[in-house]
Structure 1
Amino acid sequence: MLLALLLMAAGLGLRQPYNVDEERFLGVALEMLQDGSWFIPHRAAEIYPDKPPLFMWMIMLFTWLTGLPKIALFIPGLLSAVVTTACLHDLGTRLWNRRIGVIAALLFLATYQTYSILRVGQIDSFLALWIALGLYGMVRHLLLGPAWGWFYVACAAMGLGIISKGVGFLPILMLIPYAYAVRKGWRGVVVMPGQAGRWALGLLALLAAVSVWLLPLGVSVALNGDADAIAYLKNILLHQTADRYAGAWEHKEPFWYFLTNVIPQYWMPLVLALPWLVPAWRRQLLKHDGRVLVLLGWVVLVLVFFALSTGKRKIYIFPALPALVLVAAPLLPWLLKRWFARWPGLRRVFPVLVALWFCAWFARGFIEPIKDGRNPHDELMEDAAQMSGGADLVLAGWREGHWLFARQPIVHFGFMQGSTTDQAALYLRNHPQAFALVPARDLERCFLMPKARQVGHTSRAEWFLVGDDADNGQCNPPPAARTYRYVWNKVLFKQ
């Protein structure tokens, strides 16, 4: 657990929110903390409809406790790393022996995807906490039980996982290979006949956890909700779950994407052992080992579940990794013994390679933030505030970083509206004291280049500051359906 903390916390305090997900979730959490709209998240005063709020609640809590937003963003991932490591160690010890528990914990921390996900400030780094607790509770009940208390803990963890990200229910899929093993009389699984009532209580525990957010949200919308709140409720319950799974509108990849583009890289070094592990697992399954069936069957079901969706990202299959590590750990001593017998020199080199592997990840935690430097949105918005004298700044084609690092009031017309440069031009005509921040690709359509001042660039665009005097008169759109204005109470990130 200490090793997990060291690896994932390396460089903490040096890191800024850098990618778009980190900027988004930290901004939503800080807006919650500032404005008090906890149940319906907002992004620059506009409802943010894509994710449930539990992850943002945690960031908000740790920001309130520490006063350090750029540290609070990464604390949920640290918790996930420590808890998952502890769960794997304990399950490995209980299912096999203490040595296997240690191997399972170390193998999990050595895997590249563990490092790449649990160090970042994203929902998946927090979802891993609930997946680990769900996995732990299900294994304690199905393979080491009966342990109804742990089963209910697992169900509650799945409920909290659902209000972190919709796929938090994944550990329930473990019941499928478990039911098969029970029916076929496989060894290593716990048979619990005539317990329908107790199984049903698990569903109640799951629903109770979901109700922590969904119940007050539903009551609030029913009593005071406007059309936007009702639309948010429909969107988060249907469009962002079933619709997104069945017909994703981004990150579209083929069925085999995880097998060819993710597992070979992100499950290193474990993937190197698969040519030996797969035949060994097959032999264990032929011996009707229920432990292997339940754990490995769940891994396969998780992979198939995400492969069937048209939208795929490399982070999606991370929930399957802890169970794969747990079912691989008992075979590692046997595999190393074979390798050492074939290549005797490897016995002396192997401990050094393991130590270097972990040291490299630890060092990378300090190297990455130094190499990345300051977030370009931070510099951009600081310069924009100085050049405009802190006046209202209209954002056209903006990203979350513009809002998160804003030093002045910002005005926009909706995040999902695409290019709104024409609306920015119209706004400046009616508010000549304001300025607009416009990407270079749209500038000359509505503004005079000689009147524009270059501010800086980000990975997506070069940005220019314009006032009403730069208007070329070519853009005459109808008034925007909605205009949003937002201002932070204080500068959140000081260099």
Structure 2
Amino acid sequence: MTLRTPFSPRLEGWLLVALAVLLVGAGLGLRQPQNVDEERFLGVALEMLQNGSWFVPHRAAEIYADKPPLFMWAVAFFIWLTGSPNTALYLPALFSAGVTTAVLYDLGSRLWNRRIGRYATLLFLATYQTYSILRTGQIDSFLCLWIALGFYGLTRHLLLGPAWGWFYFSCAAMGLGIISKGVGFVPALMLIPYAYAVRKGWHGVVKMPGQAARWTLGLLVVLLACCTWLVPMVISVVRDGGPEGFAYIHEILLHQTANRYANAWHHREPIWYFFVNVIPQYWLPLVFALPWLIPAWRRQLSKQDGRVLVLLGWVLLVLLFFSLSSGKRKLYIFPALPGLVLVAAPLVPWLVRRWFQKRARAARFLPIVVVVWLGLWFARGFIEPVIEGDNPHKDLMQQAAKVTQGADLVLVNWREGHWLYARQPIVHFGFARELAVEQAASWLREHPGTFALVPDGLLANCFLPEKAHALGQTSRADWFVVDAQADNGLCRSEHPLEVYRFAWKQNVQ
């Protein structure tokens, strides 16, 4: 299959970027947050805009220490730019899609030729995981931007260099990736197969002996990029002097990084999880070609092609890195996908000749199949938001505000959607804090005229179900509004150590 174009290389690259934006951005104005991650990150960004706490993020007035803030900064910027939170949440991922597409086209063209660059971008845009990640409002969709830029800079330096400017560009991108999510350094894993290729004298890699000082300077660039958040964050914590701030530093720099990688407390999966449960589905249709690609890569490696060793070795190291962690989610390995399609793209012409050598008529329909496949992804972008409908928390919190007439609402075992779509002042005692229902009962007794939002599983502990007002189901629970009159008298608790009160100045649409 040969896809010839009459366009200049630059124009063709821009057209492929436009195609990526069109496919990934399909249905953008219809999408709403539909999971806890999207609700959380949108809420944190909105709270940043409201309270001005840019360096220490908050969730319903409580410090949010799970992730660094760069993604939330990006969402907040797009909210300010567009005035539409539901649109702004997905724009960082859309930007990532365009940049990653440009990176693949340019590297494919430079390492091989324009046709290979084109195939690399089309493989990327044809893959299932591209849409399952880049159509979401999650950190990993934004992380892809920095990893793609770090991957680009290192490839320009190691395989097409020496280009120290691109190396430092890559280091800066990795630093910004780290303050998006701690694993933003993974492009640096490329240095391992590169060092092996240089030592063994493989062709296709650039030798740079006697440059220890320049390599070391790259680490400084990474740290300086991280310091765009770390330094003002530490200054802010020290200036405030509160114990919560110092606890935040420990949580975000140690517990949520090294501790989480070594001993995750969520999403624990076996070491083979990605290879058995994720890749066969989410890397379709590319996985269908693996029985032919793997022997072909082996032959290229036997010829000591350093390009294949560095790119394929990096992909395998990324998979190994995430597989060794006890916590695994399907989106973690997405950063490896651009490297995989780039190393697979040069084999596409050979694969097509091998598959269709005796089926010339069938080969003519291959471009049509590609167009139809991409067209289906475009259509799905509009169909999914319609099928999903409105976020159920939105209707539930509107009902709660109506039932309580806008009075203070205590949240018990709450989820991010309750906070994001709150239409009245909310009170809570810490996210996922134990004894919250007992503390809520005491709070209602001490504050007449207030209400509590309680899930069905905890309702009878402290309240009379027959005096509760049912609202509906979200977050795998039925929710009820109660006031002090529903108190069954069974719950007594000490005054909570922390009480957080929060109200939106402007509701999410």
| Bucket of the pairwise TM-score, normalised by the shorter protein | over 0.9
Matched with 1:408 is 424
Question: In structure 2, how many angstroms separate the alpha carbons of the residues matched to 1:310 and 1:210?
Answer: 26
* Mapped pair 1:445 → 2:445: no
Q: Secondary structure at the match of 2:383?
A: helix
Q: Secondary structure at the match of 2:448?
A: coil
Matched with 1:82 is 98
Q: Secondary structure at the match of 1:40?
A: coil
Q: 1:479 aligns with which of 469, 479, 495?
A: 495
Question: In structure 2, how many angstroms separate the alpha carbons of the residues matched to 1:93 and 1:169?
Answer: 25
Question: In structure 2, how many angstroms separate the alpha carbons of the residues matched to 1:144 and 1:484?
Answer: 55
Q: Which residues in structure 2 correspond to 1:5-84 (within 5 Å)? A: 5-84=21-100
* Mapped pair 1:171 → 2:187: yes
**Post-superposition offset of 1:416:** 2.6
Q: Which residues in structure 2 correspond to 1:13-412 (within 5 Å)? A: 13-412=29-428
1:336 is matched by which residue type in structure 2?
A: V
Q: Secondary structure at the match of 1:417?
A: coil
2:303 is matched by which residue type in structure 1?
A: K
Q: 2:452 aligns with which of 436, 439, 455?
A: 436
- Is 1:181–1:293's contact at 8 Å kept on the other side of the alignment? yes
**Post-superposition offset of 1:239:** 0.4
Question: In structure 2, how many angstroms separate the alpha carbons of the residues matched to 1:342 and 1:298?
Answer: 36
Question: In structure 1, how many angstroms separate the alpha carbons of the residues matched to 2:361 and 2:337?
Answer: 30
- Is 1:397–1:419's contact at 8 Å kept on the other side of the alignment? no
Percent of aligned pairs with the same amino acid: 68
Q: Secondary structure at the match of 2:28?
A: coil
**Post-superposition offset of 1:462:** 0.6
1:412 is matched by which residue type in structure 2?
A: H
Which segment is superposed worse, 262-271 or 454-463?
A: 454-463
Deviant stretches of 4+, over 6 Å: none
Note the alpha carbon deviations across 1:136-195, whole angstroms, 9 max, x for none: 000000000011100000000000000000000000110000000000000000001111
| Ranges in structure 2 where 5+ consecutive residues have no aligned partner | 1-16
| Ranges in structure 1 where 5+ consecutive residues have no aligned partner | none
* Mapped pair 1:469 → 2:485: yes
1:489 is matched by which residue type in structure 2?
A: K
Q: Secondary structure at the match of 1:13?
A: helix
Question: In structure 2, how many angstroms separate the alpha carbons of the residues matched to 1:487 and 1:224?
Answer: 22
Q: Secondary structure at the match of 2:29?
A: coil
Question: In structure 2, how many angstroms separate the alpha carbons of the residues matched to 1:200 and 1:452?
Answer: 64
**Post-superposition offset of 1:375:** 0.3
- Is 1:396–1:419's contact at 8 Å kept on the other side of the alignment? no
Q: Secondary structure at the match of 1:441?
A: helix
Which segment is superposed worse, 475-484 or 171-180?
A: 475-484
**Post-superposition offset of 1:66:** 1.1
Question: In structure 2, how many angstroms separate the alpha carbons of the residues matched to 1:429 and 1:307?
Answer: 50
**Post-superposition offset of 1:419:** 5.7
2:248 is matched by which residue type in structure 1?
A: Y
Question: In structure 1, how many angstroms separate the alpha carbons of the residues matched to 2:416 and 2:370?
Answer: 39
Q: Secondary structure at the match of 1:454?
A: strand
- Is 2:413–2:432's contact at 8 Å kept on the other side of the alignment? no
**Post-superposition offset of 1:225:** 2.7
Which segment is superposed worse, 475-484 or 185-194?
A: 475-484
**Post-superposition offset of 1:422:** 1.3
TM-score by length of 1: 0.98
* Mapped pair 1:490 → 2:506: yes
Note the alpha carbon deviations across 1:220-269, whole angstroms, 9 max, x for none: 22333311000000111100010000000010000000000000000000
